[in-house]
Structure formats: C-alpha cells, structure tokens
Structure 1
C-alpha cells in the first residue's frame, strides 16, 4: 500500500469521538457461556424457550461489558444466580455463516456450586423453560454437537488447569487442552507440530516434594493442612516451584521452613512416587529423609497456621487411619528403606514397583 492510500493519523477520532467511532466498526459478536458445575461434578443444562435444542447458560455480550460481566448478568437475569464467574476455559471462533458476523465464544468455569447455591437457581427471566443437572457424559449427549464440542474442550481445560482453543467447534493443533490423545499422536508422528505447539499439547505432570521426619521412638511427623477439606494428615512438603528454578530438594527444605519453622538440610532421597489421576494431570513426588528429631528439635517447631492447622508424631499403625491409603503405603515403604538403608524406591501410587 502506498503512503497516499495509507490511513492518516489526522483521521483518527478524538478522545470524545472514540466510543462512537469504535462502536461503529465491523466486529465479531461475542458470547460468554458458563460451564456451571456443582460439587458432584454435574453440569447445568438449560431448556430455552422457543428453541428445539438444549444449551448451556450464557448469551451475547453488550458493547460495554467484558465476557465475565456479561456472563454474570446472564446468570442473574435468567437463573437468579449471583455467583462469581471463574477462569476462562475455552475460546471458539466461528465463521460468519448465516449471522453475517463472526462469533467469538468464551466459556468460563462457574462453581463448583454447593447445595445452597444450586437450590437458589430459579427461572427468573422467563427465557428458560427448565434446568437439569447432568453428569458430563450425559450432558455431552444431550447438547448439539457445536455446544458439546465447547463443553468437551472446557471440561478438559478445567481438569488440566489449562485453556482450549477452537475454531468452528474444532480443537486446534497446539491447543493446550481438548486435543484428543489420538489426534495428538497423529500430529506428533507426522511431525506437524512446531516446538511451542508440541510443548502445549503434551500431558502435564505436577511435581511435589515431601519429607519423612522420625523421632527417637520411630514415630513419623504428620501435618494437617489448614486448607484440607477431608481432614486427612500429610507429610510436610508441597509443590516444586520449577518456574522459579527450584528443584525438589530445595522445595522440600523451603516447605519445611515455611510450615514448621525448621531450617534443616535434607537427607537422602528415599523414594519417587508416580500417581495417575486421569483426567487430572499425573503427579510425581520426591520423598526425602529429614532425619531423626530430638526433643529440642520438636520444641523448635512453629507452625504457620495459614498453612498448617496442627502437627503430631504418629506411630505407623496410627498413620493408617490418619492418612489416605496411598500415603500410608508410601510412608511404610520409606520407613523400610530407612531401616534397611535401601532405595531410592520407585513407587507407583505408594506401592513399590515389583
């Protein structure tokens, strides 16, 4: 394009004219959809008035709203729900087709809603004839394929903590979530993914580090997290901040310092533990020996009550009723490795590889 035909800065609107100028420009329609779930993992599906298919909550965004604001308004107006709109799960871009305008559809997580919140749902605006809470697989079978595709991708993004990218209802190569393992394998074998897309589509693994402390009688130090809803006890430790360059051994020492107020060097690696948790990411954990704590060491423990509700020393037979079975198995295996000076152990869901 020549300079003579290029837009001139002189034609740009003033600050006062800008709102009307931009409102008049061609632009895609924008919708916001809610993947509304309850604590049982069920999905809210609507029967809209005057339509011959089911749909998910949501609607068009006005020119002065963000997708989050528009979805919150739709939930309030149509369902009487005043709940926070959560993170973005998926974006789908549709060609103009019969609308004459392209459409950008945002899908956001709403919930999980508790019993009181689900009971507060009402047909407030007269645009909805009925609601139903359906298991995800059932909801996918009830909805039109285009909406089901967004729901399927949104569910994958919810479980993996990622975002899905779709065009015309199809998950794109390189989408961080929603790409089926079969299609991913085909793209990888065909060498059709650039390095960034390859990293985006590969399954993710969460990494944690825990520490096994014992006392002079062989009891194990356990902590009860303040955020825990199941009341189960755990070993001291937490997730590895790998994005900050932290390795598992460093993470273990940091977590002990933050949770218990003890700054002690980590001993030898006792075990690595791999746990599959489909559809959520797998977890790999490193368990280190923290050594034997004497009376003076135990007296120095100062818990951070924002993270840890309480701590205690427990015998192995007590651990069986205090911790989830896979953690009990891991502790039992690590105590054996300590006693027999063996390891590191290769554990799967707490059980040594045969």
Structure 2
C-alpha cells in the first residue's frame, strides 16, 4: 500500500510520545513492504525508513503548528496515495479519502488534567476540533478504551506499540533503583515522586536511587538526573531499574508503562485511566493512591519474589503491544477501507 501518514513533528524535534508512535509505526509498515510518506514540519533524519514531505514553517509561529499543519494538509494533493493516516490535526481534510484518524488520548481529558488555565483553554479548543476531525475521517481509531469512551466516534481500539526487542529484560542495578520518565511538573508529576522518594523511600532504603529522565533536574539526595537521553540509554535504564514509577494524573495511553513491562521492570502507577487499562486494574502492576505510592515502592524494593512476580506477568502483558500486532491491525483497517472506497 502507498500510505500518507501525518503528524506535526518527528522524534528528532519533539519529546512528545505521539511523534515517536507515528515514527515507529511508519518504520514498521515500511518493513512490512508498504510505501510510507510522513507529512510533517520536521526534517528527515537517519532513523526514518520512510519518506518525509516537510512543510516549511516560520519558527516564530511554531506555537500554532497544529493549525498550520491542518492548513498545509488541506492544500496537499493526496491522490497518488491509497490511504491517509492522520495522527491529529485533520480537521480541515475535507473530501480527502480514504482517511484514518488515530486519537492518542482525548483533549478534554488533557484539559481536565491541565495545571494552567492557558493549557486548559487550548485543550478545550482542540477538543472541539477533535470532533470535527472525527466527523471527517472514514475510520476513527483510539489507543485505549478510555479514549473511545471520551470520543464516541472511535470505532476501533488499537493500542500504541512497543519494540519488544529493544525494550527487553537485563541485569538489574546493584542498589535499589526507581526510574521516572516524564516531566517534573504538569500531569506527569516528577516533583511529587521526588518528594515521596526523599520522604518515604530514601529513609527506609538509604542506598536507593531515583533515576530521573526529565526536562529539568529534580532535587534531593539519591536522585540521579539524566536529562534527555538516547533510546539506547533509555532502554538500558528500563532494564536496570528495580521499579518504574510514573504518578501521572492523566495518560491517554501511557507508553512508558508498557516499555517498563517489556523490560521486566515492575510498575507502580497512580490511578489514571491509561495505567488502569494497561495494567488491567492492577493485574499486571501496582496501582496506588498518592498517599500509598511510597509504601508500594518500598514493598517492591524489599521483596525480591514480589518483584520477580510482577516482572514475569508484565513481560506477558507487554506482548499485547508488540509492533507487529499493532501494524497488522492497522493493515486490516487500511485494506477494508481501500476496498470500500474503490467500490464507491
């Protein structure tokens, strides 16, 4: 198939999870014999197995990139492609078919979880545009049942994927270690975890370390700040950590949880909808209220057998999110939609 895929940016210019998911899916589809072109504001880089159609953008206008991408897509001729697959910003793609839209969470939930009024207002506007995009697309896919619940137009649920070869088990660190991947503030709440670590974990395990992969350093004894890391380093940290913890107030999906599961690292998560779905209400990892997160981390750090139990069942769960399974599901939707469109 000849596939036109769209996303505002790529991993070489973005820290956002959707950019990575669109990139990885495109690469997997190329590996499965498809011809994929990504329409984006980012340039091609060495990890791209697919073609890149880069739109020009004034750096001063990047804050409006979602709206500018929509305008550029509306002016693009996609007639040479079998199908269009948009990872957002398709609200001006009228009359361009067949078209698939993937929702990586919902803007209304982002608005509810927002910690600033500016971001809340922005996401509220995006929520209205999501409804338009869902109406335009021929098939709407959500990455979770929680997303489908928020966006009723979503007919199919296909989870985000993880590379189960890159993210795989390995030797754990010598001393107790907790890994956090996210932002220090906002809904990811890195600062909250740092406080819990200093107040509850470090007092019980004086040699424990909190490894922070964040945009800003976290402060406290035993906290090791890695900043932005390469994929190889990230995989290594997942493998070596004793426990992974991400206490987000909201995750539309929560790919870091899956990456930890695939690396054989037990997960402690807050009660957000993404974590609850991935961990199947606590079957494959630990779900905890804020005032119980420290206690649950300590239980895992102090019990080798408990950690091994969660590592083993987590590995089984991670297979549900392998890229091959994800790609196969999208291929089925593509083929059915292309066949239906040809009959019209």
TM-score, normalised on structure 1?
Answer: 0.27
Whose helix proportion is higher, 1 or 2? Answer: 2
TM-score, normalised on structure 2?
Answer: 0.28
Query: Between Structure 1 and Structure 2, whose CA radius of gyration is higher?
Result: 1
